[in-house]
Amino acid sequence: MESLLTEIDHVAIAVNDLDAAIAWYEEVFGATVEHRESVESDGVAEALLRVADSYIQLLTPTRADSPVAKYLEKKGEGLHHVGYRVANCAAALDAVKAAGGRVIDDAPRPGSRGTIVAFVHPKTSFGTLIELVEDPSRA
Ligand code: CO
């Protein structure tokens, strides 16, 4: 069968200081921020820097009880999750469930920049938190 994963959408990196991380990518690599957004329901602020047709997503918590704040406390800065682009988030999520996998989001939900997303539990996906990203603007 054809892969349900069509591209890497983004690689997400948790940082303590979003502005410092953005400045580093800009100054060292000449990268530019294409999108910034705070997702209040997730308690995160993000900046997307384009790399070819994918993004580096720099993530920082906006409140102490956000999952990213807990992650930084426990593990420190670093790779947080990988976002795979999929044509249909619900179908990809169902494939994980059908294979007996553990999911964080039981159903697709709104992500940043108008995407539809669902997270797969890292216990299922060999230690990496996976985000399934459907981007209706690409359809
Ligand atoms: Co993400």
CATH tag, 5-138: 3.10.180.10
CB contact set of 47 (below 8 Å; sequence gap of 6+): 18, 21, 22, 33, 35, 36, 57, 58
pTM: predicted TM-score of the whole model, two decimal places: 0.94
**Position 41 confidence tier, pLDDT thresholds 50, 70, 90:** confident
pLDDT at 8: 97
Q: How far is the CA of 12 from the centre of ligand 1 (A)?
A: 6
Both tokens of residue 5? 């994963």
Q: Ligand 1: distance of its center to the CA of 27 in Å?
A: 24
Instruction: Determine contact, residues 111/135, Cβ cutoff 8 Å.
Output: no
pLDDT tens sequence across 78-126: 999 999 999 999 999 999 999 999 999 999 999 989 999 999 999 999 9
Residue 98 Cα, ligand 1 centroid: separation in angstroms?
23
Domain boundary assignment for the chain:
5-138
